[in-house]
Every structure is written in structure tokens, then in C-alpha cells.
């Protein structure tokens, strides 16, 4: 099975990738990342290695080189098929060659082919890319070095590509990682945090605008490395002008200066306090097998599906009365709670919560395209804008098809996306939000899903910003061409990056300005930024390359849209990619070692370098679904070189991990190749074939589906309280509520002031308890509290001040009436 991706040989021969070292240069909102991969061929014969690995979505790969001995070979960027042909010709003739190409299905997956390494030979592969840093809720800038590349689920009938060639191992990857970071910014650096252990931050100047930090030694590269950079005055808009290349073709993007503008529109407080009470909220929940994995590997980790259920509880309790809502679960199939979205009231909320409590990660693969098509086919409700909340592992093989669908319906909805767990596709998660004019969130490590979901709900409830325009004011003789896609959405405190090409010259003022205008609640708003047209020094063309990558992305969309100009668009894309030196779906980096005069002789051994993923213990069969053993519900692929009879035996004898909660009879078709003819075998039929010899129950016992009994989780008092709230926002006086407070129902009743009824008293106590004991989770219950305060105000109760005092005494709190908002 030497062709099986991601598997070592039966002889346990060593994998050629030995180490990865990464250098990160953060400048403001942009990071330049150089990764060096150290290979060594410890075989006795020539080696060809394949390494499939993730990069951030929309990263601009701008350099690829290989160092063999004392010779460094710098790759050229060429049209992809030309590069592939040159690679094949070089390898077949015994030359050393290297090929780096982007997946055609997902822009965050790359394949590196290392060809013809002689026995005992070393090769150091260097890859440099530039990426924007995303802004987090606490204003940090997030950099992520993906370590886990989860295999992407490819729906039946789809063509398999790079994302299907995913490596899979059960333990930690057999290579080491070192990482160093240098941060520079015109604004002082407040701090730098990470989900991994770092050495102390070292400031290089007294103004704290330059700093370095290293990843602590001994790090196991078994999860994404996340860095969070905090600057002072993060929300101030900034502009960077970068000089062009004098040797570039006149009039081209690379020859002219390019400006990058970061904008932070701020909305008036009186506007932000008036959240909308209308909308259609559609929650789309991944229920594939991988949602049965843990959120993280630390103490107290939840299963992903359980965290999603708690998040749905909070979201459902936070919706405004009279809006519309629905919930979809999806996997290899999909289902909705209601035939179409229903009005939010007590009855529909209760029905939905009952269904949520019964949700399981039992729907097979991850096919998100069909449920989205169904949702978009439903008519919208007038005056209730549609808001999609998509929660997923983000592991699909048809990412671009999904994003095209979302873009085509962007005028009728907004999409808020959530990537759950390590290895979620950044291309899918960020793409859903970008094309759906929403906001993307990633839940990794010990992150809680609930606060991030509630932050996105706040965005969804903000007043809609429309009629957005960007206007440039520059001296005579100068023009500005905007390269970025139009700004379709603006949220309070969220950054927008705009790239533009500056053409011409002027002897007048060296200052320009950009003005963003929009309507907020039917009122015109203008934000303006002045900037110097003089180019900054030492930017390393990072702005040009990010601008080029942004423009290439727009051309890709035009190409997929079809039409008579497809070939012209593709030609423009290839030309721009080669001129700017950044990757595209139609180009690839090719490097051939012409220093080595001796050709490599003998047949090549093929190796697939593992990344963290799924591997069925006791079997040489890779399961391409997810980095979780319970994902064996998904597709398995058997490569060339195995006859059909052997494949059948292997499948029937699979021994799964003890955490497996499903039967192999749930597997979709298994693709095999025999005698050059591709065939499909349903695993279910394989078991039925043996039904005369043994019952299905005895077959299933061969799959170790038992798991150790988990201890009964303790009930969270906060979630208990939220679950008891009515759709209107009030609570009722009962023993369950008293239990949350650690009291008896009689104690609550005896202390109730005479002038208020039981529901008002219960709701007031619930508010006091939240503010008194759960302030650290306020972002999660903010809308629950707002509904409760609004309901209390609607009751026109007298003597509330005394009620608040009595409630504080009963619960041992010190919360003021002003704090409660009543």
C-alpha cells in the first residue's frame, strides 16, 4: 500500500520530514511567515515525498526554494500544467525537482512534492507567505499556524483532488517545530499571548514598538499554534503606502505604489443601544461524526456536539419575541426542526429545546451544500432579514462550490460562521462570512463556543449598514484604483482592509485621503482618514502581494461564474500571479536542481508525510474523513495497487478505536481501483454478504464500539438558570429556580415583597444573581438579561428599589437597580 496517503510502510521505515522551523515577522496587521522543512532520505533507494499541509485562507505564497547541500534552488512560478509537466519530466529523467501547488478545491490546502532525493541526502525546503491578521472580540490580532489538517469530506460524485490526499496518523507527528516571532508596529505593543507555551516577551526598544518571542522548546506540533498580538489604540485607522518595483512593466500593479487602509468605523452609542427585534435566524449545526470529538485535550473538555447544544440553548433564549427562527442539522443528509422558519414564542421555543436536547453527532459525513441550497430556496419574510449561523468542523472538499452558492444569495441574507476545533478549514469559515457579509469565529483550544456565538448574535442584531461607498481624494495628476472587493458589511468596531493602486505623479500636496460613507438607521455617516502618499520604507512588497492575492481571488470568482470571457480571465490571473510572484489556483512553484550533474538511478520510493489526522488502529487503511476516530462513518479510499478481494478482507477485519460510537455499516461507498477500473463497494453490503455465517450483532462486536462509562457531568447552575427562562424574558417561581440559588422555594416565597407577584420577584432575583455571581460570563447572558429587564419594565411595578434591596439580602449580593437596567 505504498500509494496510500499518509501511511508509513509495514516495515515502519522513517518519514523523511524531520523538522519544521518557522519565522514570523508581524508588521501592524500583516504577518510574513517563512517555514523551513528539513527532509532527509534515510532509505537505501531514491525517494519521492508528498507533504499535504494547511496554510491560512487567502495567504499569498510568494517564495519557494530548496537547499541541497551548498546549493540553493529558487523556484519559479509558472502556469500549473507547465510546472507539473516539468516536474514529471525531471523526476522521470532522474533529476531532483520540487513542486508546490494550491488545491483546486480549497485555497487553504497545499501539496509539496519532493522528487528524487538520493539515499542519505538532505533537503531544506523554504516556503514564505504573507497573510492578514484577523481581529478578535477583545481587539487582539490573531495569527494561526495550522498544524492539524483534517481530511476533507468529499461528497459522492465529486472529483477527488489534493484535499483528498490527506495524511493520517493516530499519534503525534514525527517531526519537531521551532517558531520565532518578531513584532513591529507604529503603535506600542501591549502584550502577546498564545495557546502554546512561549518564552518571555522581549522588547527591543523603549517605546515597546518592537518585540520578539519564541515558542518554548519541546512543543509537540499536535495542534494549531495561535498567537494574539495586542496593540495600544488598536481602533485608530491606519494607512501604509508601499513603493512599486522600478523594473516591473510600466502600468502594472507591481510598478505603481499600493496603499493598504485599515478602517474602524465607530457607531454612536445611542444607535448601538437600540438592537433590532426583527429577523429570521437560521442555525445550521454540523452533526457529522467528528462532532463527537472533544473540544480540546485539556481537563474538563466537552464533546463538540454538547458545546453546540449549550450554545443553541443560549441563542434560543436570547432571541427577541416575534422574530422567526429554524434549526438545521446536517451531515451526509440534513433535517430541519420545522418545515420552514416559525415565529419565536413560548411554544415554538419549547419544541426546539426538546429537539436540541435529543441532538446527536449521528449524521455521517459533512455535506453542507445541500442544506444551504434548501435554506436559500425558502422564501424570506418581509421586514425580517435572514441571518444564518453556521457551526461546523469546516472539513469539506467542495469549499469553492459552497462559497459560490453563498455569494449568489448574499443579497438576501447574512452568514455568521464558526469553525470548531483544530484543523477547521479557514478557507471555508472565513469564506462563508466574507461572501455572506457576516463575521467569522474560530473556537480552538480551551475557547468557549458560547461567548463567540453571542458576540455574533450582537452583530446580527445591530442596525443594518447600507449604501456603503469608498471615495478617494488625491492631488491632480494622481488616480486611485481600488483593488479590494466592495465593502458589503460594517459592524461596530470591526476592521475593513482596503487595497488600492496609486497611478500617476503630482507636484502638489503629498497627502491624500479616503472617505467611507454609509447609511445607519437611514442617517448618513462619514468616516475619513488622511494619509501621506510618500511610500513607507522596508515593507518587502507585502502590500503589493496581498493586493495581488485579493485581486486574484476576484478573478477566480469571475472564472467560476462562467461566460465567454473565461479564458481571458484565466490568462489575466496567470499573468498577475507570475508578475506578483504569488500563488493562484492556475500556477505552481517549480524548482529543478541543475547543479547536480549526476542523475538519480533506480526506482523511486513514494512516501506520504503525516499531518495530524485520523488513522484506524490495527489497519493500514486510511480513513479520509476527520481527525477523530468516530469519523469512520465517512468515506474511505483505497489507492491503486490493491486488488478488490484484498480490499474486502481488509474492510471486514477493521479494528476501530475504542472511542468509536458507530458501526461500520454506516460507511458511505468505499472507492477501490482494480485492474484499472474504479469500482464502488458499499461497506454495508460487505457485512450482509457474511450474514449467513454470522449475525450482524456479531459483526458489530468486531468493531470496538464500547466506551468507558463517563462520570455524570455536574449540572451548571448558570445553564440551569437560563434553561428556566421563558421566551418573554421572565422566570417563574418554582423549586428548580430556588435550587439554582441554593435556596428552597419557601425561602424565596417568604422573602417576596407584598407589592410584586411571583414572576416579577423570580425574574428580579435571576437578574441579581447573574450580575452578582456571573459577571465573568456577561457576554453570554447579555441578551437574556436585556429581555428580563425589558419584561420587568413592562409590568409597571412600584417599589422596585426596595425589591432590589430585599433580593440582594436574600442572595448575598450588592447589585444596584441602575446596574440591572430596570
DSSP class per residue in 600-630: P-SPPEEEEE--B----TT-S--B-S-SSGG
Model pLDDT, residue 217: 83
Residue 725 has pLDDT above 90, yes or no: yes
Residue 16 has pLDDT above 90, yes or no: no
Q: Are 426 and 56 in contact (CB under 8 A)?
A: yes
Edge-to-edge strand ranges of the sheet holding 176-184: 71-74, 60-68, 122-132, 30-40, 17-27, 176-184, 210-214, 202-203
Cα–Cα dist 585/266, whole Å: 37
Q: Are 18 and 108 in contact (CB under 8 A)?
A: no
Cα–Cα dist 100/77, whole Å: 9
Residue 759's Cβ-side half-sphere holds a number of Cα atoms within 13 Å equal to: 15
Which one is predicted more confidently, 236 or 95?
95
Which one is predicted more confidently, 28 or 405?
405
What mean pLDDT comes out for the span 153-160?
A: 50
Which residue carries 461607498 as its cell?
469
> What's the CATH architecture for 17-149+174-216+579-605?
Sandwich (2.60)
Residue 604 has pLDDT above 60, yes or no: no
Q: Where are the domains of the chain?
A: 17-149+174-216+579-605, 244-269+465-558, 275-461, 613-700, 718-820
The gap from C-alpha 601 to its chain's centroid, in whole angstroms, comes to: 44
- Nearest-10 Cα torsion for 654, 650, 48, 152: -50
Model pLDDT, residue 396: 75
Lowest mean pLDDT among 112-121, 193-202, 668-677: 668-677
Residue 366 has pLDDT above 70, yes or no: yes
Specify the pairing of strand 141-145 against strand 225-231: antiparallel
Residue 258 has pLDDT above 80, yes or no: yes
Q: Are 266 and 493 in contact (CB under 8 A)?
A: yes
Residue 171 has pLDDT above 60, yes or no: no
Residue 168 has pLDDT above 90, yes or no: no
Which residue carries 429577523 as its cell?
279
Residue 681 has pLDDT above 60, yes or no: no
What is the share, in percent, of the chain residues with pLDDT greater than 70? 78
Q: What's the per-residue H, E or C state across 675-709? A: CCEEEEECHHHHHHHCCCCCCHHHHHCCCCCCCCC
What mean pLDDT comes out for the span 69-81?
A: 91
Residue 389 has pLDDT above 60, yes or no: yes
Model pLDDT, residue 815: 93
Model pLDDT, residue 251: 87
Residue 780 has pLDDT above 60, yes or no: yes
- Nearest-10 Cα torsion for 766, 771, 776, 781: 50
What is the helix (H) or strand (E) element at residue 801, kind and residue range?
Answer: helix 800-811
Residue 742 has pLDDT above 70, yes or no: yes
Residue 110 has pLDDT above 90, yes or no: no
Annotation: CATH topology of 244-269+465-558? Immunoglobulin-like (2.60.40)
Give the C-alpha distances (Å, rounded to integers) separating 653 from 41, 190, 524, 621.
Answer: 33, 56, 68, 11
Instruction: Report residue 155's pLDDT band, with 50, 70 and 90 as the boundaries.
Output: low
Q: Which of 202-206, 641-645, 713-717 reaches the highest mean pLDDT?
A: 202-206
Structure confidence by residue, pLDDT tens digits, 607-617: 455 544 433 22
Q: Are 428 and 406 in contact (CB under 8 A)?
A: no
Give the C-alpha distances (Å, rounded to integers) separating 34 from 45, 57, 58, 192, 201.
Answer: 30, 16, 16, 20, 20
Q: Are 124 and 137 in contact (CB under 8 A)?
A: no
Which residue carries 505603481 as its cell?
256
Model pLDDT, residue 597: 53
Cα–Cα dist 705/558, whole Å: 48
Closest C-alpha among 471, 473, 478 to residue 531: 473
Cα–Cα dist 386/598, whole Å: 64
Instruction: Report residue 657's pLDDT band, with 50, 70 and 90 as the boundaries.
Output: very low
Cα–Cα dist 64/69, whole Å: 17
Residue 244 has pLDDT above 50, yes or no: yes
C-alpha torsion sign, points 810, 814, 817, 822: negative
Instruction: Report residue 115's pLDDT band, with 50, 70 and 90 as the boundaries.
Output: confident
Helix (H, G, I), strand (E, B) or coil at 190: strand
Residue 160 has pLDDT above 50, yes or no: no
Structure letter (DSSP) for residue 170: S
Residue 629 has pLDDT above 50, yes or no: no
Model pLDDT, residue 596: 64
Model pLDDT, residue 148: 55
Task: Write down the mean pLDDT value for the chain.
Answer: 79
Q: Residue 382: which residues within 8 A CB-CB, separation 6 or more?
A: none
Q: Are 462 and 275 in contact (CB under 8 A)?
A: yes
Tell me the sheet residues that pair with 227: 143, 194
Residue 151 has pLDDT above 80, yes or no: no
Q: Nine-digit cell at 648?
A: 474486502
What mean pLDDT comes out for the span 97-119?
A: 85
Give the CA radius of gyration of the chain: 29
Cα–Cα dist 143/193, whole Å: 11
Residue 693 has pLDDT above 90, yes or no: no
Detail the DSSP E strand segments found in 80-145: 97-102, 109-117, 122-132, 134-135, 141-145
Model pLDDT, residue 796: 87
Model pLDDT, residue 25: 94
Model pLDDT, residue 281: 97
pTM of the entire predicted model: 0.73
Q: Nine-digit cell at 58?
A: 487567502
Which residue carries 486611485 as its cell?
480
Q: Are 142 and 134 in contact (CB under 8 A)?
A: yes
On the question of a common fold for 244-269+465-558 and 275-461, the answer reads no
Q: Are 663 and 688 in contact (CB under 8 A)?
A: no
Structure confidence by residue, pLDDT tens digits, 300-330: 788 999 999 999 999 999 999 999 999 999 9
Lowest mean pLDDT among 1-10, 501-510, 807-816: 1-10
What mean pLDDT comes out for the span 653-682?
A: 33
Edge-to-edge strand ranges of the sheet holding 134-135: 134-135, 141-145, 225-231, 189-194
Q: If 0-12 CB within 10 Å is exposed, 13-18 middle and 19+ buried, where does residue 119 land?
A: middle
Structure confidence by residue, pLDDT tens digits, 432-489: 998 998 989 988 878 889 999 998 998 898 887 888 899 999 998 899 999 988 888 8
Cα–Cα dist 127/33, whole Å: 8
Closest C-alpha among 31, 284, 307 to residue 182: 31
Cα–Cα dist 694/524, whole Å: 74
Instruction: Report residue 761's pLDDT band, with 50, 70 and 90 as the boundaries.
Output: very high
Structure letter (DSSP) for residue 719: H
Q: In the CATH scheme, what is the code of domain 275-461?
A: 3.40.50.410
Model pLDDT, residue 348: 97
Specify the pairing of strand 30-40 against strand 17-27: antiparallel
What mean pLDDT comes out for the span 701-711?
A: 38
Model pLDDT, residue 13: 47
Cα–Cα dist 164/398, whole Å: 11
Cα–Cα dist 3/9, whole Å: 10
Give the C-alpha distances (Å, rounded to integers) separating 488 from 499, 518, 606, 621.
Answer: 15, 10, 47, 46
Cα–Cα dist 737/657, whole Å: 42
Model pLDDT, residue 423: 67
Cα–Cα dist 149/110, whole Å: 10
Instruction: Report residue 222's pLDDT band, with 50, 70 and 90 as the boundaries.
Output: low
Q: Are 213 and 228 in contact (CB under 8 A)?
A: no
Residue 696 has pLDDT above 70, yes or no: no
What mean pLDDT comes out for the span 25-53?
A: 84
What is the helix (H) or strand (E) element at residue 154, kind and residue range?
Answer: none
Instruction: Report residue 623's pLDDT band, with 50, 70 and 90 as the boundaries.
Output: very low
Cα–Cα dist 254/259, whole Å: 12
Model pLDDT, residue 784: 95
**Terminal CA-to-CA distance of the chain, rounded, Å?**
69
Amino acid at each position: 500500500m505504498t500509494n496510500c496517503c499518509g501511511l508509513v510502510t509495514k516495515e515502519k521505515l522513517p518519514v523523511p520530514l524531520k523538522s519544521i522551523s518557522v519565522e514570523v515577522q508581524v508588521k501592524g496587521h500583516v504577518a510574513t511567515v517563512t517555514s523551513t522543512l528539513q527532509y532527509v532520505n534515510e532509505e537505501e533507494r531514491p525517494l519521492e515525498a508528498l507533504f499535504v499541509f494547511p496554510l491560512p485562507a487567502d495567504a499569498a505564497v510568494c517564495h519557494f526554494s530548496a537547499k541541497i547541500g551548498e546549493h540553493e534552488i529558487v523556484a519559479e512560478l509558472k502556469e500549473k500544467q507547465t510546472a507539473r509537466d516539468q516536474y514529471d519530466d525531471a523526476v522521470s529523467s532522474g533529476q531532483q525537482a520540487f513542486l508546490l501547488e494550491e488545491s483546486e478545491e480549497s485555497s487553504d490546502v497545499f501539496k509539496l512534492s519532493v522528487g528524487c532525493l538520493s539515499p542519505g541526502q538532505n533537503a531544506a525546503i523554504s516556503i514564505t507567505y504573507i497573510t492578514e491578521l484577523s481581529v478578535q472580540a477583545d481587539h487582539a490580532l490573531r495569527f494561526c499556524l495550522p498544524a492539524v489538517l483534517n481530511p476533507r469530506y468529499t461528497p459522492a460524485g465529486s472529483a477527488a483532488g489534493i484535499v483528498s490526499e490527506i495524511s493520517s496518523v493516530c499519534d503525534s507527528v514525527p517531526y519537531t517545530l521551532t517558531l520565532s516571532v518578531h513584532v513591529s508596529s507604529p503603535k506600542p505593543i501591549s502584550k502577546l499571548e498564545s495557546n502554546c507555551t512561549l518564552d518571555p516577551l522581549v522588547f527591543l526598544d523603549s517605546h515597546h514598538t518592537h518585540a520578539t518571542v519564541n515558542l518554548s522548546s519541546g512543543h509537540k506540533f499536535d495542534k494549531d499554534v495561535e498567537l494574539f498580538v495586542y496593540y495600544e489604540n488598536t481602533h485608530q485607522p491606519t494607512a501604509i503606502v508601499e513603493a512599486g518595483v522600478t523594473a516591473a512593466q510600466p502600468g502594472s500593479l507591481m510598478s505603481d505604489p499600493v496603499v493598504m487602509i485599515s478602517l474602524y468605523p465607530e457607531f454612536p452609542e445611542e444607535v448601538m443601544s437600540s438592537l433590532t427585534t426583527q429577523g429570521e435566524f437560521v442555525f445550521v449545526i454540523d452533526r457529522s461524526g467528528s462532532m463527537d470529538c472533544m473540544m480540546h485535550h485539556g481537563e474538563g473538555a466537552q464533546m463538540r456536539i454538547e458545546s453546540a447544544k449549550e450554545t443553541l440553548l443560549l441563542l434560543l433564549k436570547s432571541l427577541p419575541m416575534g422574530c422567526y427562527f429554524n434549526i438545521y442539522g446536517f451531515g451526509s443528509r440534513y433535517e430541519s426542526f420545522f418545515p420552514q422558519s416559525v415565529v419565536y414564542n413560548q411554544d415554538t421555543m419549547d419544541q426546539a429545546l426538546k429537539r436540541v436536547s435529543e441532538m446527536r453527532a449521528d449524521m455521517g459525513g459533512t455535506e453542507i451544500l445541500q442544506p444551504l441550497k434548501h435554506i436559500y430556496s425558502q422564501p424570506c419574510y418581509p421586514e425580517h432579514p435572514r441571518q444564518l449561523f453556521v457551526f461546523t468542523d469546516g472539513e469539506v472538499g467542495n469549499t469553492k462550490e459552497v462559497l459560490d452558492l453563498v455569494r449568489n444569495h448574499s443579497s438576501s441574507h447574512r452568514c455568521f460562521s464558526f469553525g470548531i476545533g483544530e484543523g477547521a478549514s479557514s478557507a471555508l469559515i472565513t469564506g462563508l462570512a466574507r461572501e455572506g457579509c457576516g463575521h467569522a469565529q474560530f473556537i480552538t483550544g480551551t475557547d468557549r463556543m458560547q461567548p463567540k456565538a453571542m458576540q455574533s448574535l450582537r452583530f446580527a442584531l445591530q442596525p443594518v449598514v447600507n449604501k456603503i461607498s469608498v471615495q478617494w481624494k488625491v492631488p491632480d495628476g494622481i488616480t486611485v484604483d481600488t483593488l479590494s472587493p466592495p465593502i458589503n458589511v460594517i459592524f461596530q468596531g470591526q476592521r475593513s482592509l482596503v487595497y488600492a493602486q496609486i497611478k500617476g505623479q503630482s507636484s502638489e500636496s503629498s497627502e491624500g485621503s479616503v472617505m467611507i460613507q454609509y447609511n445607519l438607521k437611514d442617517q448618513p455617516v462619514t468616516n475619513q482618514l488622511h494619509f501621506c502618499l510618500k511610500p513607507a520604507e522596508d515593507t518587502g512588497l507585502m502590500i503589493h502581494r496581498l493586493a495581488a492575492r485579493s485581486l486574484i481571488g476576484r478573478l477566480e470568482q469571475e472564472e467560476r461564474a462562467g461566460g465567454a470571457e473565461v479564458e481571458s480571465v484565466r490568462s489575466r490571473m496567470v499573468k498577475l500571479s507570475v508578475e506578483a510572484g504569488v500563488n493562484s489556483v492556475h500556477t505552481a512553484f517549480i524548482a529543478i536542481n541543475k547543479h547536480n550533474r549526476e542523475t538519480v538511478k533506480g526506482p523511486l520510493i513514494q512516501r506520504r508525510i503525516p499531518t495530524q489526522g485520523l488513522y484506524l488502529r490495527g489497519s493500514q487503511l486510511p480513513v479520509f474523513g476527520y481527525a477523530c476516530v468516530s469519523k469512520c462513518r465517512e468515506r474511505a479510499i483505497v489507492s491503486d495497487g490493491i486488488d478488490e478481494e484484498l480490499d474486502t478482507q481488509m474492510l471486514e477485519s477493521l479494528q476501530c478505536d475504542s472511542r468509536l460510537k458507530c458501526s461500520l455499516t454506516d460507511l458511505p461507498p468505499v472507492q477501490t481501483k482494480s485492474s484499472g477500473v474504479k469500482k464502488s463497494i458499499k461497506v454495508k453490503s460487505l457485512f450482509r454478504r457474511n450474514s449467513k455465517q454470522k449475525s450482524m450483532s456479531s459483526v458489530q462486536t468486531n468493531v470496538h464500539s464500547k466506551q468507558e462509562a463517563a462520570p455524570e457531568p455536574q449540572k451548571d447552575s448558570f445553564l440551569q438558570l437560563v434553561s428556566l427562562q421563558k421566551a418573554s424574558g421572565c422566570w417563574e417561581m418554582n423549586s428548580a429556580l430556588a435550587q439554582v440559588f441554593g435556596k428552597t422555594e419557601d425561602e424565596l416565597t417568604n422573602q417576596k415583597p407584598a407589592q410584586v407577584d411571583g414572576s416579577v420577584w423570580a425574574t428580579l432575583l435571576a437578574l441579581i444573581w447573574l450580575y452578582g455571581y456571573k459577571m465573568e460570563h456577561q457576554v453570554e447572558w447579555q441578551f437574556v438579561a436585556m429581555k428580563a429587564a425589558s419584561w420587568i419594565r413592562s409590568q409597571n411595578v412600584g417599589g422596585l428599589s426596595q425589591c432590589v434591596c430585599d433580593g440582594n439580602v436574600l442572595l448575598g449580593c450588592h447589585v444596584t437597580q441602575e446596574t440591572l437596567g430596570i
